[in-house]
Chains A and B, each alone.
Chain A
Amino acid sequence: MSILAPSALDLEALVTDMWASFVGAPELLLPAGPPADDAVLWSATVTVTGEWRGMVSVDLAEAAVLGVTRGMLGFGDDEEPDAASCTDAVGELVNVVGGNVKSLMPGPSTLSLPVVSRGAVEVPSEMEEASVLHLTWCEAPVRVRVLTTTTSS
């Protein structure tokens, strides 16, 4: 069975664009191997329903979350983002990545609001990983995944 999903190359291009526009220092986004199980401390997801059905998740280590939040909210290096700011920034991160993934897939479809949680997100049983991008940013692990439904309904 073939799975329709953006390639890792597509993912890398849109993640780099997003980082350059909103976070900063995209040159520090580097390819990496899969993170250790305990490296991912924050997960953010959006789901797409419609002609194409899937889920996009962005998983980040704490240091990456703090850097992303500082970049997006314009905080100084000496400002410590609170949990609400981190949740907001990481949620917008996955919203932008998810919206762009949706635009690469057949439509029409609908994008959910983001869900952000501490700890790795549990993948629904009907979904399987279709594309994954393992990166580090400022040496902190960042993982972007696209999951699609394995059922035809």
Chain B
Amino acid sequence: MQALIIDDSRAMRSILRRIVTGLGWTTAEAGDGQEALDLLEGGLAPDLCLIDWNMPVMNGYTFVQRVRAEQRWRDVTLMMVTTESEHGQIVRALAAGAHEYVIKPFTAEAIVEKLGLLGLLDQEVPA
């Protein structure tokens, strides 16, 4: 399994990378939505995108809209991971095609639980 981590903070990408690599996944990273789109255009085919909302160049909401507009990327699971917790924004993101929404700060257990709910943990988690 592979996750594409999209966040303008290197610290946050590091935190998320440690969580998903602990599950035995591989990762790729992007610092904004446009950089992530460029990776997808270049042939990267992640199972999951972990997406911040507030980023320079292209925000996470626009990224979700752009991915969901393309039939070829319909199998990618999209999870927002953001400080944005207003109800209206959560509704907007889910309506645009995000599958899940996690609010910072989060625990590793919360991320793993969401991945399980999404059916992305079909193998035993390494201890």
Seen from chain A, the residues whose Cβ lies within 8 Å of a Cβ on chain B are 14, 17-18, 20-22, 69, 72-74, 85, 88-89, 91-92, 95-96, 98-100, 102-103, 107-109, 111, 113
Q: How far is the CA of A14 from the CA of B83 in the complex (A)?
A: 12
Which residue of A14, A89, A99, A109 is within 8 Å of B82 (Cβ)?
A: A99
Whether B54 lies near A95 (C-beta < 8 A) is: yes
Residue B12, interface by CB 8 Å? yes
Determine chain A's interface SS by DSSP, over half rule: helix
Which residue of B10, B85, B106 is within 8 Å of A21 (Cβ)?
A: B106
Contact A69:B11 (CB < 8 A) given known A17-B105, A21-B106, A111-B54: yes
Whether B83 lies near A88 (C-beta < 8 A) is: no
Would you mind naming 22 contact pairs between A and B with Cβ atoms under 8 Å apart? Answer: A14-B105, A20-B105, A21-B106, A22-B15, A22-B105, A69-B11, A72-B15, A73-B10, A73-B11, A74-B15, A85-B10, A88-B10, A95-B83, A95-B104, A96-B104, A96-B105, A99-B85, A99-B104, A100-B83, A103-B86, A103-B103, A111-B83
- Count A-B contacts at CB 8 Å: 70
Which residue of A21, A85, A108, A113 is within 8 Å of B54 (Cβ)?
A: A113
Report chain B residues within 8 Å CB of A73. Answer: 10-11, 14
Chain A min CB distance to B84 (Å)? 6
Whether B11 lies near A108 (C-beta < 8 A) is: no
Sorting the interface of chain B by its residue count into under 10, 10 to 19, 20 to 34 or 35 or more gives 20 to 34
Whether A98 lies near B15 (C-beta < 8 A) is: no
Whether A72 lies near B14 (C-beta < 8 A) is: yes
Residue B9, interface by CB 8 Å? yes
Whether B85 lies near A103 (C-beta < 8 A) is: yes
Report chain B residues within 8 Å CB of A74. Answer: 14-15, 18
Seen from chain B, the residues whose Cβ lies within 8 Å of a Cβ on chain A are 8-12, 14-15, 18, 54, 56, 82-86, 88-89, 103-107
Report chain A residues within 8 Å CB of B54. Answer: 95, 111, 113
Residue picked from B15, B56, B103, most chain A C-beta under 10 Å:
B15
